[in-house]
Amino acid sequence: MFKFTSSEVRDLIIAFIVISLCFGIANTGRDMNALVQILPMIMVGVGAGFILHELGHKFVSMKYGYWAEFKLWPQGLLFALVTSFFGFVFAAPGAVYTYANYMTDEINGKISVAGPIVNIILAIVFLVIAALVYRSAFTSEVALTVFFVCALGYSINSFLAVFNLLPIGNLDGSKVLRWNAGIWIITIAIAGIMTLASHTIGVENIVRMIIGF
C-alpha cells in the first residue's frame, strides 16, 4: 500500500518550496522582479521533477516490500540556498529512507536509479510538449507560457538526473554504480548529454532542430 505519513507530506512540501526558490534565485540572481515572474514556472518543473523523483524511490522500495519515507535534510536545504546565489543549486534537500534489515546491492541500485530515470523521462516529456507548442508560441501568449514552462522543466529535470547520478557521497549514483556500472554509465551519459545540450545549444534551438524550424 502506497502510504504517506503527515511528517513526510510536510517535509516534501517544505523541500519543494525551498528548492523551487533556489532554482529561481540561480536563474535570476538578486533580481526580485524576475524571480517573482519566473518562480511559478520553475515550480512546475521542480514540482514534477523533485516530487516524482522521490516518489520513484518510494514506489520501487515499497514494490520490494520495504517501508520507505521521505525525510528532510535541513543542512542540505540551507546549502542549496547558499549555492543558488552562485548560479548553481546543490539539490539535496532530503532523501527517501528505505527501512530494511538487509538489502542487496541490486535492489538498492534499482531503488536508487528509479529517481533519475523519472527525471530523464520527465525532461523528454517536457521537451516533446515544448516542440508541439513552439510554432503556436509566436502568436499565442498561452502557448508561449507553456513553452517557457516546458523549457525550464526540461533543463531542471535533466540537471536533477545528472546531479543525482554523480557517484559521490550518498547520492543515487554511488549505489547505482555499486550495483551495475553499465546501467550507471548509460543513465548518466543520457542525463549528461541532455543537460549539456540545454546549457550549450539551448532548449529553443533543440526544439527547432527537432521540428525542422
Within 10 angstroms of residue 106's Cβ, the number of other Cβ atoms is 11
165 with 58: CB under 8 angstroms?
no
Mean pLDDT of the chain: 91
User: What SS3 state is found at 71?
Assistant: strand
Of 44-48, 127-131, 177-181, least confident by mean pLDDT is 44-48
28 with 38: CB under 8 angstroms?
yes
**Residues labelled as active-site residues:** 54
pLDDT at position 1 is 59
pLDDT tens per residue, range 62-90: 999 899 899 999 898 898 889 888 888 88
Give the residue-averaged pLDDT of 127-134. Answer: 96
**Residue 30 DSSP label:** T
pLDDT at 56 over 70: yes
pLDDT at 135 over 70: yes
The reported pTM is 0.90
Question: Cα–Cα distances in Å, from 22 out to 54, 180, 200?
Answer: 18, 32, 22
Burial 115-142, CB ≥16 within 10 A → b, else e = bbbbbbebbeebbebbbebbeebeeeee
Tell me the torsion sign for CA atoms 44, 82, 25, 124. Answer: negative
C-alpha cell at 213: 524550424
